């Protein structure tokens, strides 16, 4: 039995009308600041930062140089750093992503110990990459003013240009606050916390998940604020939307596309062709005859004039993970949705900033495309009725991952604890197996804060140590919760 909330279109669980119906009282809504300063929240933070829940080795997904370049350019790593020689470096302008051979970012501005430098920035996983890639003798790297290194080197490596000028170097491993939440996975088997979690009452469990969900929103809000500071509101929101459209497996290519084709450009008459072309989907298309061939021809007629100047920025097909993707969620359809978002950007931004889930659903749910509203692939037959470019579940994810963190980053409090969640995805199934040894406890309502809290606990404690429970403090935190 359900009831409809006013103006939201999102379904909430109704109060029980029979004694045997599963129900727990709503979590008392408190401001984010109060929630994050509660005794339970403080205990959560202490367990997280006790140093025993993490190990030095990074997950395999962290060894992706392109992902780190995208993260750096978004501003999520921050703007103020200390170099390996102790100088203070502040990023004034992250510059432009280089589409040609040479450094990763050009026309950047860096303030080094108060002195403003203009030039390029190079990002490498290891400090040794500078010599291994022969940057020291390459004239294209003569104007580099900052070398960004991800991993802490075992020995000192110097970055010098062919003119023997030393390049300032920063190591992101020396700034742990820049560590991202990688899309890796811990084993889908019960962890040490499963038994104490099952022993909690529903009220205890709800309170714990509320704290974790607030932490998740706060972290996402901080990342969004960093994106905004680095590249402006429009670029930040567009990039955040693109990442959400990428689902789990294709977040990186969607983020790269949003960085390389910003909303103003993506919303132009050639914007859709730029998105499909830069994504690499126009390199070897094999559509059948008919409307699909016409659609590709229309895109190609604009793309071929732009392609030569963007050859180095075209994503290779290996960047995309297409296995197991539902036809309706194929990146081709999501790219069309991103183009439609860019064309109606003024309304989309207003809907995001409103914080109203009903407004967001109406705006994004009404997006249409003359081809992709009726097709799931180049080769699929035309449907007799249109298929939404963005369904309610995806709009709900956008609300949770963009609109809510945006409101929090601006100091705006929204009543969201009672919002319902969509169906569990593969990641949530892994989380449930990890934390509870199977499905969620009976009686735990399928609310948005529940799903967000579970994902944050998993990200905070299970992923950093690859699911090895021996040194994790979370089981002790759970066992010590007050009754």
In the chain, where are the structural domains located?
29-57+181-483, 77-178
Rounded to two decimals, the pTM is 0.82
In sequence order, what E strands does 214-314 have? none
Rounded average pLDDT over 203-215? 90
DSSP for 378-411 reads SSSPPPSS---SS-HHHHHHHIIIIIHHHHHHTT
**What is the spatial distance between Cα 422 and Cα 390, in angstroms, rounded to a whole number?**
14
| Model confidence band, residue 252 (pLDDT cutoffs 50, 70, 90) | very high
User: Ranked by mean pLDDT, which of 61-65, 109-113, 419-423, 462-466 comes out on top?
Assistant: 109-113
| Model confidence band, residue 384 (pLDDT cutoffs 50, 70, 90) | very high
Pick the more confident residue, 6 or 115. 115
Length of the chain: 483
CA distances from 83 to 30, 113, 171 (A): 41, 10, 7
pLDDT reading at 29 higher than 60? no
pLDDT (0 to 100) of residue 285: 63
Coil, strand or helix: which one is 101? coil
Q: For residue 273, how far is the Cα from the chain centroid?
A: 24
| Model confidence band, residue 136 (pLDDT cutoffs 50, 70, 90) | very high
Q: For residue 170, how far is the Cα from the chain centroid?
A: 24
Residues 413 and 31: beta-carbon distance below 8 Å: yes
pLDDT (0 to 100) of residue 57: 45
**What is the spatial distance between Cα 382 and Cα 295, in angstroms, rounded to a whole number?**
13
**What is the spatial distance between Cα 443 and Cα 440, in angstroms, rounded to a whole number?**
9
Write out the H or E segment, with its range, that includes residue 230: helix 202-231
% of residues, the chain, pLDDT over 70: 84
Rounded average pLDDT over 406-410? 90
pLDDT (0 to 100) of residue 151: 85
Rounded average pLDDT over 247-262? 92
* Digit-coded pLDDT (tens) for 48-100: 776 544 443 444 456 788 888 998 998 888 889 999 999 999 999 999 988 78
φ/ψ of 115, rounded to 5, equals -100, 125
User: Ranked by mean pLDDT, which of 190-194, 254-258, 423-427 comes out on top?
Assistant: 254-258
For residue 431, the cross-strand partners are none
Residues 136 and 155: beta-carbon distance below 8 Å: no
In sequence order, the 6+-apart residues with CB closer than 8 A to the CB of 396 are 10, 357, 419, 421, 422, 448
**What is the spatial distance between Cα 361 and Cα 455, in angstroms, rounded to a whole number?**
23
CA distances from 475 to 200, 272, 469 (A): 12, 49, 9
């Amino acid at each position: 039995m359900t009831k409809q909330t006013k103006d939201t279109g999102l379904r909430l669980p109704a109060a029980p009308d029979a004694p045997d119906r599963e129900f727990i009282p709503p979590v008392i809504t408190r401001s984010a600041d109060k929630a994050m300063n509660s005794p339970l929240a403080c205990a959560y933070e202490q367990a997280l930062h006790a140093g025993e829940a993490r190990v030095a080795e990074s997950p395999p997904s962290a060894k992706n140089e392109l992902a780190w370049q995208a993260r750096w350019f978004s501003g999520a790593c921050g703007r103020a750093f200390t170099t390996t020689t102790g100088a203070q470096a502040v990023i004034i302008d992250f510059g432009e992503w280089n589409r040609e051979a040479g450094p990763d970012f050009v026309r950047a501005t860096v303030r080094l110990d108060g002195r403003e430098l203009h030039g390029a920035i190079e990002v490498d996983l290891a400090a040794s990459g500078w010599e291994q890639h022969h940057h020291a003798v390459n004239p294209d790297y003569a104007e580099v003013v900052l070398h960004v290194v991800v991993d802490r080197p075992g020995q000192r490596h110097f970055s010098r240009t062919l003119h023997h000028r030393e390049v300032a170097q920063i190591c992101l491993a020396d700034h742990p606050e820049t560590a991202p939440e990688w899309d890796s996975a811990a084993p889908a088997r019960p962890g040490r916390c499963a038994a104490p979690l099952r022993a909690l009452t529903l009220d205890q469990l709800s309170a714990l998940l509320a704290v974790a969900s607030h932490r998740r929103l706060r972290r996402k809000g901080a990342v969004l604020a960093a994106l905004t500071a680095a590249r402006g509101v429009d670029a930040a929101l567009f990039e955040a939307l693109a990442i959400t459209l990428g689902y789990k497996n294709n977040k990186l290519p969607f983020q790269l596309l949003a960085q390389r084709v910003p909303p103003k450009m993506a919303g132009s008459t050639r914007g859709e062709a730029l998105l499909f072309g830069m994504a690499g989907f126009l390199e070897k298309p094999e559509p059948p005859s008919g409307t699909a061939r016409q659609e590709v021809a229309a895109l190609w007629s604009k793309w071929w004039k732009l392609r030569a100047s963007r050859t180095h920025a075209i994503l290779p097909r290996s960047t995309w993970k297409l296995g197991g993707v539902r036809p309706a969620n194929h990146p081709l359809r999501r790219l069309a949705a991103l183009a439609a978002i860019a064309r109606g950007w003024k309304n989309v931004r207003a809907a995001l900033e409103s914080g109203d889930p009903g407004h967001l659903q109406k705006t994004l749910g009404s997006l249409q495309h003359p081809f992709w509203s009726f097709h799931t692939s180049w080769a699929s037959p035309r449907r007799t009725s249109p298929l939404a470019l963005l369904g309610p579940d995806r709009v709900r994810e956008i609300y949770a991952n963009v609109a809510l963190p945006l409101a929090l980053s601006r100091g705006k409090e929204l009543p969201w604890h009672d919002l319902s969640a969509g169906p569990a995805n593969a990641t949530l199934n892994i989380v449930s197996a990890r934390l509870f040894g199977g499905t969620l406890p009976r009686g735990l309502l399928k609310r948005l804060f529940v799903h967000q809290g579970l994902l944050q606990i998993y990200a905070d404690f299970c992923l950093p140590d690859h699911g090895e429970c021996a040194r994790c403090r979370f089981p002790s935190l759970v066992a010590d919760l007050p009754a």
